[in-house]
Amino acid sequence: MTDAVIHASDSDFDATVLQSDVPVLVDFWAPWCGPCKMIAPALDELAGDYAGRAKIVKIDVDQNQATALKYHVRSIPMLLLFKDGQVQGTQIGAVGKPQLAQLIDKAL
């Protein structure tokens, strides 16, 4: 599957997310976070479902603390939906694929 989840970092966050020409759902996560692992399969599916229309990006908060601080990430998983470089929606905590799809659909 080519349209997989993209892994971003502090250094390429602006180019990957803020300058994207399609909406981007960013998952702030960490490898030790149980709920983060629970929503990973749904994010993988959404990356395929929305291929070409939206991007799914994951950013490890332990490795990329500057970006996590910038967006006030206090608990994970925290998902932010960006469109045109602006935050359009927020989802904190593990939710199902339908709720995440709804968040993306609002920006399309």
Is residue 33 among the annotated active site residues? yes
Catalytic residue among 36, 39, 59, 100: 36
pLDDT for the residue numbered 2: 47
Is residue 76, in this structure, part of any structural domain at all? yes
CB 79 within 8 A of CB 91: yes
Q: What is the pLDDT of residues 23-39, one digit of tens each?
A: 999 999 999 999 999 99
Task: Note down the domain range covering 38.
Answer: 6-107
Pairing state between β 55-60 and 24-29: parallel
The reply to whether 21 falls in a domain is: yes
Total domain count for the chain?
1
Instruction: Examine the residue annotation and report whether 24 is marked as an active-site residue of this protein.
Output: no
Whether residue 1 is contained in a domain is answered as no
CATH number where 19 lies: 3.40.30.10
Please list, in sequence order, all residues whose beta carbon lies within 8 angstroms of the beta carbon of residue 88, skipping any fewer than 6 positions away. 23, 81, 82, 106, 107
103, part of any domain = yes
pLDDT grade for 1, boundaries at 50, 70 and 90: very low
Catalytic residue among 8, 24, 25, 33: 33
E strand or H helix at 79, and its extent? strand 78-83
Kind of pairing, strands 78-83 and 86-92?
antiparallel
